[in-house]
Amino acid sequence: MKKLKRSARLVEMTQYLLARPHTLISLTAFADRYQSAKSSISEDLAIIKEVFEGEGIGDLHTLAGAAGGVRFIPKCRKDQALDKIKGICRQLEQPDRLLPGGYLYMTDLLGQPGLLQEVGQMFATAFADRDIDAIMTVETKGIPLAHATSLYLNVPVVIVRRDHKVTEGSVVSINYVSGSNKRIQTMSLARRALREQSRVLIIDDFMKAGGTVQGMIDLLNEFRAVVAGVGVFVESGEVDNEERLLHDYTSLARLTEVDLKSRHIAVTPGNFFKEEAQ
């Protein structure tokens, strides 16, 4: 890369850091990349750090010493996130989302890149301090959420299939009971998709009693992998605590009321916002 002026270097460093979250970049690597003294690089990083932390883009962790460097940890500010989730809740409350059986149509929302980035940032903030090797989800609607989160945590996504596909090689399958309709279903994961001992963050779009998530946890056991966290976009508040299979999870929104007759839906911020929302 040709030598840049400070102003141009700040632009380049900003995009370089944003594209490499949760990655340690040494001061030496930056000094070489920009043919600049480490002292200049440190000054640049101080400016970037102030903007990133002030504007709710994320933290810039600097490590001092010979092996020193910098790591960008994407984090949204809780107050900004709460504003955004309230907007999402209003969208989820639109009466025409109500489908037969009390299901909520939200496929359109899960296709919008802007919303996915916001939700990905929230999950990445919730689990920023966990040690995570991979994100797991089950097809189909959890996939965009898992990938949006993976961009900010910089770990790969592993997709559990609801059927066995020929293009996956040997797979591990388990049966599970979906808590909401009590049907026995199958989910499977390619043997080579996940290393043993992996620490896995589970992400899904909707959780009622938690049967599907519990199925993924059982599947992780088959791989001798460990649950590093569970994040759900929308949880159903219509489940009493006894029925709930799972208690340790982070939800971004909570479906508190569905009235099929009046077509009234109520959605509030989830437990991620617990202190702020009360």
Binding site residues, its own copies, CB under 8 A = 1-2, 4, 6-8, 10-12, 14-15, 18-19, 47-48, 50-52, 54-55, 57, 99-101, 103-105, 107-108, 111-114, 116-117, 134, 139-141, 143-144, 147-148, 150-151, 154-159, 161, 165-169, 190, 192-193
Rg (CA), the chain: 21
For its own copies, give the closer residue by CB, 62 or 271.
62
The distance of closest approach from Cβ of residue 150 to its own copies in the complex, given in angstroms and rounded to an integer, is 5
For its own copies, give the closer residue by CB, 106 or 252.
106
For its own copies, give the closer residue by CB, 126 or 158.
158
For its own copies, give the closer residue by CB, 128 or 151.
151
Cα gap 143→137, rounded to integer Å: 6
The distance of closest approach from Cβ of residue 266 to its own copies in the complex, given in angstroms and rounded to an integer, is 19
For its own copies, give the closer residue by CB, 165 or 274.
165
Cα gap 244→152, rounded to integer Å: 30
**Which residue type, as a one-letter code, is found at position 82?**
L
The distance of closest approach from Cβ of residue 248 to its own copies in the complex, given in angstroms and rounded to an integer, is 25
Residue written as token pair 């938690």: 210
For residue 265, how many other CB atoms are within 10 A of its CB? 21
The distance of closest approach from Cβ of residue 224 to its own copies in the complex, given in angstroms and rounded to an integer, is 19
Q: Give, for 234, the enclosing helix (H) or strand (E).
A: strand 226-236
Walk across the sheet containing 134-138 and list its strands. 157-160, 134-138, 199-207, 226-236, 250-259, 264-269
For its own copies, give the closer residue by CB, 126 or 160.
160
Cα gap 42→26, rounded to integer Å: 11
**β-bridge pairing 199-207 and 184-190:** unpaired
The distance of closest approach from Cβ of residue 3 to its own copies in the complex, given in angstroms and rounded to an integer, is 12
DSSP characters over 190-219? EGGGS-TT-EEEEEEEEESSSHHHHHHHHH
The distance of closest approach from Cβ of residue 229 to its own copies in the complex, given in angstroms and rounded to an integer, is 18
